[in-house]
Structure 1
Amino acid sequence: MNILTTSQKSNEVIQEEAKALAFSMHMTYIKRGKTSIPALFGKYQCEYIAVLAGSGLTIHFPENQQHTFHLSMAQLRILRIERGEGDHLVNAVQTILDRKGLHEGETFTFIDSTIGLASDSIIVSYAFPNAQIQGLEGSFPIWLATSYGLEHYIHNDQTVTNALRRITIKYATFEKYLPKLPDNSIDIIYFDPMFEVPVEESPQFKPLRGHTVESHIDDKIMAQAMRVATYGVIIKERPFSSVFQNYPPHQWVGGKYSRIGYGVYMKELM
């Protein structure tokens, strides 16, 4: 049972919003009252509880962990872009667009196949306002928090808020979603799978440990991605990963000593 409730001090407006949200998300709405979160877990034996408050939506887990949508690393990356320092993912996308001869301001479609907390999609949306971005997420609690955040989070910079609103997200895994798409239907397909050798874990990911969906790139997925992509594919991984050993990219985008980088695969060269 997926439970959605409200904060203990919620008003009728929040309660009605929570009921509507629960219905749209196919979740069970529980009237909170003064019941504590631990007591709700004890009563309903669920994996997580979504709590709606005036400040937003928070996902609670039994191990006394919680997750709320936040810009996380995207905020720092946006600041770097504003300072003219650039961004490796933006450069990877631009590499493909330049190869295809797209001019600044032209529309293109982009699927983030492993959107997670949406940091990468936010950066692409911010850097390319005309991009049509869709994300896929196979973990229900992560999808719930991210989709709500993209629709409701308000940044003090309207340009950033607008970047969030341009992103749509589906509850789906790329393994099941990509095969359903027609040939040459998405311009750029992006993968950010779980790293084979983990880097230092982001504090925001710690509450989600055990609730993520681990996906890997194999021959079947690469074939599907290149079939669906019109322009190309981008994969984020560590330079020495088996992904890049098995599928050498046409171009590598990243710093010389970067712990991670982006492999660019051009459709026309496959």
Structure 2
Amino acid sequence: MNILTTAQKSNEAIQEEAKALASSMHMTYIKRGKTSIPALFSKYQCEYIAVLAGSGLTIHFPENQQHTFHLSMAQLRILRLQRGEGDHLVNAIQTILNANEISDKEKFSFLDCTIGLGSDSIVVSYAFSQAQIKGLEGSFPIWLATSYGLAHYSHNVKSVADALRRIEVSYDTFENYLPNLPDGSIDIIYFDPMFEVPVEDSPQFKPLRGHTVESHIDDKIMEEAMRAASCGVIIKERPFSSVFQKYPPHKWVGGKYSRIGYGVYMKEL
């Protein structure tokens, strides 16, 4: 059972919004009252509880862990773009656009196959305001938090808020989604799978441990991605990963001493 409720002190408008959201997400709305989160977990034996409040949507997990959408590293990366310092993912996309003689001010479609917390797609949407961006997320609680956050998160800079609103997120896995795409139907397809050698635990990922979907890129996925992409594919991983050993990229984009970078695979022109 997927439960959605409200904060203990919630007005009627929030309660009605929560009921509508639960219905649209195929979740069960529970009237909160003064019941504590631990008491709800004990009563309903669920894996997580979504709580809607005036400040946004929070996903609660057992053992007092919780997750709320925030810009995370996207905020810092946007600040760097504003200062003209660039971004490696933006540069990787620009490499593909240049090879296909597409201007960065033209519309192009971008599929983020592993959107997660949304940071990469937010940066891409900010850098390329004409891009049509769609993300996939196979974990229901992560998808719920990210999709709600992108649609409702308030930011005092209009261009950043607009970047969030332009992103569409579907609850799906790329293993299921890619085979159903027509040939050449997406300009750029992007993967940020779970790293083979994990980076040190990040605070924003700690509550999500055990709730992520571990996906891997194999021959079938690579073949489907290259078939569905009209311009190219980008994979984010560590330089020494087996993915890049098995599928050598046409170009590597990353800093000289980067622990993580982007492999660019060009579609034959």
TM-score range, shorter chain: over 0.9
Q: Is residue 2:85 matched to residue 1:85?
A: yes
Distance 2:212 2:89 in 1: 22
Which residue matches 1:154?
154
Q: Is residue 2:34 matched to residue 1:34?
A: yes
Which residue matches 2:187?
187
Which residue matches 2:12?
12
* Aligned residues of 2:94 and 2:104 also touching (Cα < 8 A): no
SS of aligned partner of 2:43: helix
CA-to-aligned-CA distance 1:53-111 (integer Å, 9 cap, x gap): 00000000012100000000000001111111100000000000000001231100000
Q: Is residue 2:102 matched to residue 1:135?
A: no
Aligned partner letter, 2:105: G
Aligned partner letter, 1:181: L
Which residue matches 1:245?
245
Q: 5 Å matches for 1:168-207?
A: 168-207=168-207
TM-score w.r.t. length of structure 1: 0.99
Which residue matches 1:25?
25
CA-to-aligned-CA distance 1:172-230 (integer Å, 9 cap, x gap): 00000000110000000000000000112221010000000000110000000000000
SS of aligned partner of 1:57: strand
Distance 2:193 2:142 in 1: 15
Shift of 1:25: 0.1
Q: Is residue 2:236 matched to residue 1:230?
A: no
Aligned partner letter, 2:137: E
Distance 1:80 1:124 in 2: 13
Which residue matches 2:166?
166
Aligned partner letter, 1:120: D
Shift of 1:16: 0.1
Distance 1:108 1:161 in 2: 20
Distance 2:202 2:121 in 1: 17
Distance 1:182 1:102 in 2: 21
Which residue matches 2:109?
109
Aligned partner letter, 1:177: Y
Distance 2:18 2:182 in 1: 36
Aligned residues with identical type, % of pairs: 83
Which residue matches 1:259?
259
Distance 1:192 1:49 in 2: 27
Distance 1:73 1:23 in 2: 32
Distance 1:79 1:33 in 2: 41
Shift of 1:154: 1.0
Distance 2:92 2:108 in 1: 14
SS of aligned partner of 2:268: helix
Unaligned runs of 5+ in 1: none
Aligned partner letter, 1:254: G
Shift of 1:29: 0.1
Runs of 4+ in 1 over 2 A off after TM superposition: none
Unaligned runs of 5+ in 2: none
Aligned partner letter, 2:126: Y
Aligned partner letter, 1:165: R
Aligned partner letter, 1:243: V
Distance 1:104 1:51 in 2: 39
- Between Structure 1 and Structure 2, how many residues are aligned? 269
